[in-house]
Structure 1
Amino acid sequence: MALSFNDGNSLFEFVVQDGNGVKGLVDSGLAKVPDRYIQPPQERIEKLNASSHEQPPIDLSLLDGPNHDQVVVAIVKAAQILGFFQVVNHGVPVELLESVKDAAHRFFAQRPEKKAIYLKGVSPSPFVKYGTSFVPEKEKALEWKDYLSMVYTNDVDALEYWPNQCKNEALEYLKTSTKMVRRLLEILVGNLGVKLEDSRVESLIGQKMVNMNFYPPCPNPELTVGVGRHSDMGTLTVLLQDGIGGLYVKVEESSDVGEKEGWVEIPPIPGALVINVGDTLQILSNGRYRSAEHRVRTTSMQSRVSIPIFTIPQRTEKIGPLPEVVERDGVAHYREFMFEDYMNNFFGQAHDGKKSLDFAYIGSA
């Protein structure tokens, strides 16, 4: 008997438990989106109603010249207003970025059983996970996305356990991006009037994770989302987009970016990387920097990949507003907590905008 993709249990077993993913649905000749993927109207992304973010990318090579201060101002302003900005001349070779995208396509092009060896519970390493959607067990509507997540512990483990189809490219991408992340964090914290020890900077980005996201073509992209509304939990995220696009960031009413409240698309720029502020940096800055709410649309035309690097604090790191900032502000807007508790809360819920930050607000349990 043919699998009925509108049978919720059969679909969940096929997509999630057996590891076929969304790509498996598409490869089966799917003609319409199954009910489990249809988002409520308020969560759908209307491409025609969104504007494009017009700010030019920030040239990081200018930090080493006479325009240093102007570049710092641009970085700080972007982190305060939108929480997203693009950078070029970032120190990661463009040829490497292209090879990383190719490697992602190579991994997801494999037969389902080849990818399923990395499913949670059977993966040869707890630091490598293949899956689909975000928290499918708790989502009312699933996200149209498959992913591979690789947590970095050390080079030896990465080369032994990360998938052969992408491990070399992913590891090089991670290592060449780290210097840039550290420099951006030092600039943003320095603007707060705080000088952190190198050990503290390292602990705030001590956990590093490379994700490869795969968005197959969708027969009804207007009904689905690739990723639902959320902010990232970590300190800074580095994102490599391909040329198709689909990343949308929410512009708050209080923003001063010359655009009305709503969603703007972050357009792909060849050779650029997208940087976004995570919840951790919003908390450290006592709210001066913004972890932007963002989401991803699907496309009907061709498969899309994106490859984020998440830099997040060590699990045992205590996170709260920096004391120097609280002293100047006169009040702390967030409580102090162990970062592992924040992680557990973040991964224990479906995407729901910036609700993850409720965990940290003063007065929260």
Structure 2
Amino acid sequence: MPSTLSCVPSDINHFAVVEGHGVKGLSDLGLESLPEQYIQPPEERITTSAIIADDSIPVIDLSDWDRVDDKICEAAEKWGFFQIVNHGVPLEVLEEVKAATYRFFRQPAAEKNKHSKENSPSHNVRYGTSFTPQAEKALEWKDYLSLFYVSDEEAAALWPSACRDEALTFMRNCDAVIRRLLQSLMKGLNVTEIDGTKESLLMGSKRINMNYYPKCPSPELTVGVGRHSDVSTLTILLQDQIGGLYVRKLDSDTWVHVPPINGAIVINIGDALQIMSNGRYKSIEHRVIANGSNNRISVPIFVNPRPNDIIGPLSEVLESGEKAVYKNVLYSDYVKHFFRKAHDGKATVDFAKMTN
């Protein structure tokens, strides 16, 4: 192995961000120490003293849908996260999309970089590293491919061939469970029917990400993903068996690991549904730690309103006289606010809060 000093690029940002090598490229160099650009301030690192080892998020068996509505709603209120098993998505579909994620990221940097912000022919297809490098004081140890779904035709033309078919298959196979989860959650809000308008608001658009967290030198000094909540309605997350996802326990400064369960899918409430439920359902802070021994991947599907939808507390939630906690906001404005800054916990949802 070459010495650390001889193999470190003279300009880390240019190598990782501009040339498209990402943190995978840095990890492949066999670095013995973490580049200073990735060293997080102490308050952003997760410490063992903040981790609860004897608590876990709910695991819900969907083999009998008629018996799980209350469990789903309770998990959405008390945790904002839960795992589902016996969900109907074939195991081979899950394994194939994980394999496709590795296949995409194992390509040469020049091939992946064809889909970067500067080079991609569409803003709906984006390869990158960290979260918002230009706004971050310290970079995150993650590369990603983000694919906004418009149509099968656009996906066929623009999504990378290394993972396109598997990503589409995973999305299609999750549609039924997404609809059923939303039906359960809407029942808890006194919404008796998801009509066309509600369906558009709840799941009018989808984005699938493929995340790659390579083995990291000095993982205790950085993060894979910093503290944040998602801007989605729901997030459907497939994680591998390595582990590393942590959820902040509600009204606490402690964190709970989301243990990998073979064949399970992780579900979490996003900001959009917290706003629509007027705060009854909780979008919870979560983060990903870096790993010093193994590469890790995850594949989230973000189920969102359409960009031009107005989100605010649903009328059914307020009809009993409950006071609105959130104002109506244009969803695209909310999303832009999220992406123009570094990860900062739950601060984004304040953008939609009512002012006195």
Common topology (TM > 0.5): yes
Answer yes or no: is 1:350 the counterpart of 2:342. yes
The structural deviation recorded for 1:230 is 0.2
Answer yes or no: is 1:265 the counterpart of 2:257. yes
> What is the total number of aligned residue pairs between the two structures?
350
Q: Which residue number in structure 2 is paired with residue 15 of structure 1?
A: 16
2: distance between equivalents of 1:216 and 1:47? 21
- Residue by residue over 1:74-128, the C-alpha shift from the partner in whole angstroms, topping out at 9 and shown as x without a partner, is 1011000110000011121011101111110111111111111111121133211
Answer yes or no: is 1:94 the counterpart of 2:91. yes
Query: What TM-score do you get using the length of structure 1 for normalisation?
Result: 0.92
Greater shift, 179-188 or 277-286, is seen at 179-188
Q: Which residue number in structure 2 is paired with residue 214 of structure 1?
A: 212
Q: Which residue number in structure 2 is paired with residue 38 of structure 1?
A: 39
Greater shift, 321-330 or 264-273, is seen at 321-330
Answer yes or no: is 1:304 the counterpart of 2:286. no
Alignment of 1:23-172 (within 5 A): 23-47=24-48, 49-52=50-53, 53-55=55-57, 57-63=59-65, 68-69=66-67, 71-172=68-169
- Residue by residue over 1:146-171, the C-alpha shift from the partner in whole angstroms, topping out at 9 and shown as x without a partner, is 00011111111112211111111100
- Residue by residue over 1:270-320, the C-alpha shift from the partner in whole angstroms, topping out at 9 and shown as x without a partner, is 000000000000000000000010000011111100000001100111110
The structural deviation recorded for 1:199 is 3.5
Out of 309, 313, 322, the position equivalent to 1:321 is: 313
2: distance between equivalents of 1:184 and 1:156? 28
Question: Secondary structure, in 3 states, of the residue corresponding to 1:104?
Answer: helix
Give 5+ residue unaligned stretches, structure 1.
254-259
1: distance between equivalents of 2:48 and 2:16? 27
Q: Which residue number in structure 2 is paired with residue 183 of structure 1?
A: 180
1: distance between equivalents of 2:57 and 2:43? 27
CA contact (8 A) 2:140 2:225 kept: yes
1: distance between equivalents of 2:348 and 2:253? 21
Question: Secondary structure, in 3 states, of the residue corresponding to 2:157?
Answer: helix
Question: Secondary structure, in 3 states, of the residue corresponding to 2:64?
Answer: helix
2: distance between equivalents of 1:110 and 1:343? 30
Give 5+ residue unaligned stretches, structure 2.
none
2: distance between equivalents of 1:136 and 1:54? 32
Question: Secondary structure, in 3 states, of the residue corresponding to 2:319?
Answer: helix
2: distance between equivalents of 1:261 and 1:39? 18
Compute the RMSD of aligned alpha carbons.
1.7
The structural deviation recorded for 1:14 is 1.0
Question: Secondary structure, in 3 states, of the residue corresponding to 1:288?
Answer: coil
Q: Which residue number in structure 1 is paired with residue 240 of structure 2?
A: 242
Question: Secondary structure, in 3 states, of the residue corresponding to 1:229?
Answer: strand
Q: Which residue number in structure 2 is paired with residue 257 of structure 1?
A: none
2: distance between equivalents of 1:49 and 1:34? 25
1: distance between equivalents of 2:43 and 2:111? 37
Task: Pick closer, same or farther for the CA change 1:87–1:288 going to 2, 3 Å.
Answer: same
Aligned residue type for 2:56: E
- Residue by residue over 1:190-217, the C-alpha shift from the partner in whole angstroms, topping out at 9 and shown as x without a partner, is 1111233133213321111110000000
Query: What TM-score do you get using the length of structure 2 for normalisation?
Result: 0.94
The structural deviation recorded for 1:47 is 4.3
2: distance between equivalents of 1:2 and 1:148? 30
Question: Secondary structure, in 3 states, of the residue corresponding to 1:352?
Answer: coil
Task: Pick closer, same or farther for the CA change 1:35–1:73 going to 2, 3 Å.
Answer: same
Answer yes or no: is 1:295 the counterpart of 2:293. no
1: distance between equivalents of 2:57 and 2:127? 35
2: distance between equivalents of 1:198 and 1:56? 31
